[in-house]
Structure 1
């Protein structure tokens, strides 16, 4: 059985655009999908990238147009910039890590709901008032992140180090063995690879 290591940042617009498709692809091929939330702001400078504020305006203008196009293609509401775009994403990342460790709920749905909360619903993904109801709605205990906070913080940091060592430089990023797929617009390639066609 193949394992897909899914490196993501919960606040990324491209992770929001990916939605539950990574999980659907994994299920179609009997693969295991392992979510690896990380600090993408720390990832960029360590792998030759720049955070958005440091990029040339022409790059940011193009990216904004492209994100809006992709959202329309996918039928997703997309508020750019989001109302709470500058919040600390760590609490939401910890919630995902703790929920994955606990098991038993709808993790793909939780990740998609966190993205939707930020990019379509104007909600603060660093706030317990946002995260606890999302955890419960997707079959997890509302306190799972509190109980697993130390483990989640350690895993969050370890995921960054692992990502750097494996050649990950952006999100969403999928690694299957030694094959790498970067971006929500490469999910079809991931699907074809798992089918043995690419």
Structure 2
């Protein structure tokens, strides 16, 4: 007896709320620099990293734009630092997944110049150290180790908050605070002095 052909599965139709979120996602994706992933290859004792792109020059330029620089030497230093962050241990190899995760953290901050890029790399390092410390704390059994990891975790969390504030202050460096005083005189001759403040720069 011949088998009855099954009808193809009906494609999933997102709900109205899901469509709204998907539209927002698509807009976000379009506004994101198309950064290629990085690949790591080992030749002897040397670890070489490069964009996984058909044209290496284009790949490097996209990476440079993503981290806020036009300096080839700077991007090489930045990538070397990110590679070291991606190595989970002194003898463990750097995996492409870990390297691209480090780069994604920096890219997500959207640095606009080299100073912001350096701060973003530091923030990436602190974030990864925070997560590592949190994982160690979750499995610690002895009181000594629990207290040690708690102390380190608190310091790292405070450092990350300080870095966010530093980035915020640096990005507001071009803003000016303008204070304008205006005087209103009532019919009785009483003067009321008001202050209007514009801008949020430090």
TM-score (norm 2): 0.24
RCO higher in structure (CA 8 A, sep ≥6): 1
TM-score (norm 1): 0.24
Task: Give the greater-gyration-radius structure (CA).
Answer: 2
